[in-house]
Structure 1
Amino acid sequence: MARRTAAEATGSKPVPIDVQTMRETATRLLSEDAELPSTEELETLTLLLRGMVMLAIPEIEKATGRLPEDDVPRACALACVGEARMRLRLEPSNGSFPAGVAHAQRLARSVRALADHYVNLGGEQ
């Protein structure tokens, strides 16, 4: 069964992924001088990062579909997609603030990697 994006299902034109915003959002949690967010900011960032992952996955899968099956960038991008999907299924281990920050940081690393694969696959030209 073929997967369809929301844009394909509704017949609307897909919105390009905003790679710059993805990278800036991830940097808020991953930079060396990043300040810890408040509890409310952490919740908002986590939801934002999850949304970015959910939007990027189908676009990257679509881009990899145009490549040969034995293509190395294709394999790398699909491995990243698998890792990102796994992170979407996970929740912070014990519900504490430090566990929530660690969870959001893992999502941020996935967002950063997905943005890189999106660009490498020609998604931002």
Structure 2
Amino acid sequence: MTATQQDSSTAPVDLAVMREATAILVNRDATAALLPENTDVGVLTETVRGHLAALIPELELAAAKLREESAARYCVLACISEAHGKLSAQPSPRYGGAISYARRLARVLNALCAHYEKLAEL
């Protein structure tokens, strides 16, 4: 089973929707995007957190099918670990507050989307 194939117990991963959510927060080069007026950062943050919650288990399953010494496996597991760290963190005024936290989550979601696409090619 490739990374894009789903078993019957999981919903399909929609990378386009995930990337649309991240595009509101960060540009293609991962720099801060100008937020649309009246943007609810809390809703955006929860949306990105939800996408991460859906994507991480799919990547863990795909990585488990790779050889233990595989560079691709190591990279995806390292990125998943980074995502878990960001998910367990809280927004901090010291690091830019709620919007910066949402952008950090968006960047790691973008990275996981890229890993998902690469694993689908293997």
Q: Secondary structure at the match of 1:23?
A: helix
Residue 32 of structure 2 contacts residue 103 of structure 2 at CA under 8 Å; is this kept in 1?
no
CA distance in structure 2 between the partners assigned to 1:28 and 1:74 by the alignment: 29
Match of 2:24 in 1: 28
Match of 1:106 in 2: 104
How many residue pairs get aligned? The number is: 113
CA distance in structure 2 between the partners assigned to 1:23 and 1:50 by the alignment: 13
Residue from 116, 119, 122 that aligns with 1:121: 119
Which one is further off, 103-112 or 23-32?
A: 23-32
The answer for unaligned runs of 5 or more in structure 1 is 1-7
CA distance in structure 1 between the partners assigned to 2:41 and 2:71 by the alignment: 35
**1:79 CA displacement:** 0.3
- The percent identity for this pair of structures is 37
Letter aligned with residue 100 of structure 2: A
Q: Secondary structure at the match of 1:13?
A: coil
**Cα distance, 1:37–1:92 mapped onto 2, change above 3 Å:** farther
**1:39 CA displacement:** 7.0
Letter aligned with residue 122 of structure 1: A
> Under a length normalisation based on structure 1, what TM-score does the superposition of the two structures give?
0.80
TM alignment of 1:60-79, pairs within 5 A: 60-79=59-78
Match of 1:55 in 2: 54
Q: Secondary structure at the match of 1:26?
A: helix
Match of 2:41 in 1: 42
Letter aligned with residue 45 of structure 1: L
> Under a length normalisation based on structure 2, what TM-score does the superposition of the two structures give?
0.82
**Per-residue Cα deviation, 1:21-55 (whole angstroms, up to 9, x for no partner):** 11111111112683235676101000000011111
